Amino acid sequence: MKQSLKQLLSQRQKHRIVDASRISSAVLLPMYRKQREYYLLFTKRTQKVKEHKGQISFPGGAQEGNETLVDTALRECTEEIGLVAEDVEILGELDDTISVTSNYVISPFVALIPWPYQFKVSEEEIDELIEAPVSVFLGRACQRQEDETIGCEVVTSYSYHYQGEVIWGVTARVLKQFLDIWVSI
């Protein structure tokens, strides 16, 4: 699976968004194998953070200084959940996407991490970690899709429902990209 996913990610042309009016940021899709199944790790943000309070997201944040976007994703993972960069194997990138509710261009990176892992969760930023099997998101039962008009453009929005939580917005769009590639494996 690892090699197939890495190959699929490397063969695709990444859609990059360059927009100086937006803040460059990056997220990591931490994936691991547990009990013969692959899982994704999500975070639930606290009510203390400046933006995206209480939302389900992938670990990540704004680019700082001269760091690369992959360095941003890794730094933010260390700050938010204590995931050390040396323990992460980057498998590839997904397309950049824009946060509609904030002013970010987000670059997602798919990564394999070891399991089990001793996470050190930032109490200021992260309320809880949510681990979910990839297979759950492949079924139609948890996915919702609707078209909405933003300005003059019709946009399809996705949400995923898992154990009483709703994954929506940018995180749902990134998850959808990942799942579209995953089903090709």
Please write the tens of the pLDDT for every residue from 39-57.
Answer: 999 999 987 876 766 789 9
Q: What mean pLDDT comes out for the span 10-19?
A: 93
Do the domain assignments include residue 150? Answer: no
pLDDT, residue 35, reads 92
Q: How many structural domains compose the chain?
A: 1
Do the domain assignments include residue 154? Answer: no
Do the domain assignments include residue 121? Answer: yes
Mapping DSSP to helix (H, G, I), strand (E, B) and coil, where does residue 135 land? helix
Do the domain assignments include residue 6? Answer: yes
Question: 60-64, 71-75, 129-133, 138-142 — which is least confidently predicted?
Answer: 138-142
Q: Is the pLDDT of residue 100 over 90?
A: no
pTM of this prediction exceeds 0.85 = yes
Q: What mean pLDDT comes out for the span 16-25?
A: 92
Do the domain assignments include residue 95? Answer: yes
Domain assignment of residue 80, given as a range: 2-136
The pLDDT tens digits for 154-168 are 878 899 999 999 999
Mean pLDDT of all residues belonging to the chain: 93
Cis preceding-peptide flag for 116 (omega within 30 of 0): yes
CA-to-CA distance for 181 and 185, rounded, in angstroms? 7
Q: Is the pLDDT of residue 133 over 80?
A: yes
Do the domain assignments include residue 79? Answer: yes
In angstroms and rounded to an integer, the radius of gyration of the C-alpha atoms of the chain is 16
Q: Is the pLDDT of residue 127 over 80?
A: yes
Give the number of other CB atoms < 10 A from CB of residue 52: 16
Sign of CA dihedral 82, 29, 21, 71: positive
Task: Using pLDDT thresholds of 50, 70 and 90, give the confidence band for residue 17.
Answer: very high
What CATH number is associated with residue 80?
A: 3.90.79.10
Do the domain assignments include residue 36? Answer: yes
Do the domain assignments include residue 117? Answer: yes
Q: What mean pLDDT comes out for the span 132-137?
A: 96
Q: What mean pLDDT comes out for the span 104-108?
A: 96
